[in-house]
Amino acid sequence: MAAQSKDFPWMSHYEEYKFFEDRMRSHSKVSSLENIKGGLYDLSLKNGNTLKVFICECYSYGVAEYEETVQKLGHLDVIIINSNWCGYSPDAKLYCREKSVGLFKIRDFMAALNLPHYWEYLTDYEKEKLAI
């Protein structure tokens, strides 16, 4: 369910990506950031990998939303929920994790970038809730 936008792909209603861009450009693991269009980015890491990142503002991001997103945008490496009032379901987190896709809030993604397998990052709350 979209938070503000009725149209797919539920990008930020205000098209405000500056917070994300600033955080990524200052992260020690990031070498460059390129906006492909709207909330879709190529994020190049200092280890040579490039991640395709989608910034989403979906009220409750679930498995169905993930499937619709990749049908429309193709393969993604990371999906970031860009709102304090929006989130994702535990099922979606596990589903994405099994596909080696990171599903995060921005703060958690910043921490996940420090791991070799960023998609495996879980908050303490997620570890407890998901029993992982």
The pair of three-digit structure tokens given for residue 5, joined into one six-digit string: 């936008």
Interatomic CA distance for residues 41 and 52, integer angstroms? 6
Lowest mean pLDDT among 62-66, 112-116, 128-132: 128-132
| Residue 90 domain-assigned (yes or no) | yes
Residue 86 lies in a domain: yes
The Cα–Cα gap between 57 and 52 comes to: 17
Residue 9 lies in a domain: no
CATH code for position 24: 3.40.1340
Copy the structure tokens of residue 70: 């990749």
Residue 77 lies in a domain: yes
Assigned domain for 8 exists? no
1 lies in a domain? no
Closest listed residue to residue 65, CA positions, set 97, 42, 35, 87: 87
Average pLDDT of the chain?
88
Domain count, the chain: 1
**Does residue 34 sit within a domain?**
yes
What is the rounded distance in angstroms from the CA atom of residue 88 to the CA atom of residue 11?
Answer: 15
Structure tokens at 24: 């990524």
Q: Kindly report whether the global pTM for this prediction surpasses the value 0.85.
A: yes
